[in-house]
């Protein structure tokens, strides 16, 4: 379910390409070009491009993105996965690995449009709906399919979601809307969440394509400053 203007290699299987994809999203949503980023960090534009397309970044570069684009630990968390894992293991709550199935011939999906553009401003803890419209562009009917949140469904700095959202039966050529109620993090940060289509057994659909599936990326602003506790009304002895 990619966006039409994204190259296929930006839907990665490996943690380092997932990290690169997310680095790129954070840069773009803040309106920085790769050239501006390279100049500010002190490297070449081609190095930024290589990292955002899957080359292994330095910790210093990830920290620069963290601090410059307010990722609130998300990029460092992805970097730690890159450091300690050779290949991405897609896991659910409890660490159970999903059943792996071969791609179904003729099973295809096309992204049409969505609501909540990347970088939409939200208030801390704001409830909102994200709606994706996708097309069954193949020859296989979709029955009993779901959209599954990838990774934790809640936590500090994370968008809160359900684990699964139902997808209505969709014939080849039809459009389907998938509406997901979500909750923004409760403090100022940037946050991204990924979702992927699975079948009724929980196995990945399109196992060899669209590795990051659908996403939502928001900026949270408006956190109230910490306040000092009121003075103790009890008079001192």
DSSP for the chain? ---TTS-GGGS-SSHHHHHHHHHHHHHHHTT--HHHHHHHHTS-HHHHHHHHTTPPPPHHHHHHHHHHHT-TTHHHHHHHHHHH-SS-----GGGPPPPP-PPPTT--EEEEEESS-TTEEE-TT-EEEEEEEEEE-SSS-B-SEEEEE-S-SS-TTS-B--SEEEE--B-TT-EEEEEEEEE--SSSEEEEEEEEEE-TTSPBSSTTS-TTBEEEEEEE--PPPP-PPPPP-SPP-
Q: What is the pLDDT of residue 227?
A: 64
More confident residue, 171 or 76: 171
What is the per-residue DSSP string for 137-194?
A: -SSS-B-SEEEEE-S-SS-TTS-B--SEEEE--B-TT-EEEEEEEEE--SSSEEEEEE
The band of 99, judged by pLDDT with boundaries at 50, 70 and 90, is: low
Quick: pLDDT tens for 188-223. 888 888 899 999 988 889 887 776 689 898 989 987
CATH of the domain spanning 105-220 = 2.60.40.10
pLDDT at 90 over 50: no
Q: What is the pLDDT of residue 79?
A: 81
Give CA–CA dist 122/216, Å, rounded.
12
pLDDT at 19 over 70: yes
- The second-level CATH assignment, the architecture, of 8-84 is Orthogonal Bundle (1.10)
pLDDT at 176 over 80: yes
Give CA–CA dist 192/152, Å, rounded.
12
**Domain residues of the chain, as ranges?**
8-84, 105-220
pLDDT at 7 over 60: no
Give CA–CA dist 198/13, Å, rounded.
16
Quick: pLDDT tens for 110-141. 999 999 998 899 999 999 999 999 999 999 99
């Amino acid at each position: 379910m990619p966006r039409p203007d994204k190259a296929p290699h930006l839907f990665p299987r490996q943690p380092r390409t997932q990290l690169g994809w997310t680095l790129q999203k954070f840069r773009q949503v803040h309106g920085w070009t790769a050239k501006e980023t390279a100049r500010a960090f002190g490297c070449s534009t081609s190095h930024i491009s290589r990292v955002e397309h899957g080359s292994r970044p330095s910790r210093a570069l990830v920290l620069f993105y963290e601090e410059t684009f307010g990722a609130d630990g998300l990029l460092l968390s992805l970097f730690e996965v890159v450091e300690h894992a050779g290949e991405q293991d897609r896991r659910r709550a409890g660490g159970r690995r999903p059943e792996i199935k071969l791609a179904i011939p003729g099973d295809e999906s096309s992204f049409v449009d969505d609501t909540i553009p990347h970088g939409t401003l939200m208030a801390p803890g704001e409830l909102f709906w994200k709606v994706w419209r996708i097309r069954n562009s193949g020859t296989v009917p979709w029955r009993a399919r779901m959209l599954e949140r990838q990774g934790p469904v809640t936590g500090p700095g994370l968008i809160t979601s359900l684990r699964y959202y139902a997808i209505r039966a969709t014939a080849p050529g039809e459009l389907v809307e998938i509406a997901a109620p979500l909750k923004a993090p409760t403090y100022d940060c940037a946050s991204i969440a990924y979702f992927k289509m699975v079948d009724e057994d929980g196995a990945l659909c399109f196992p060899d394509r669209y590795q990051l599936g659908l996403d939502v990326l928001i900026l949270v602003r408006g956190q109230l400053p910490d306040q000092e506790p009121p003075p103790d009304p009890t008079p001192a002895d």
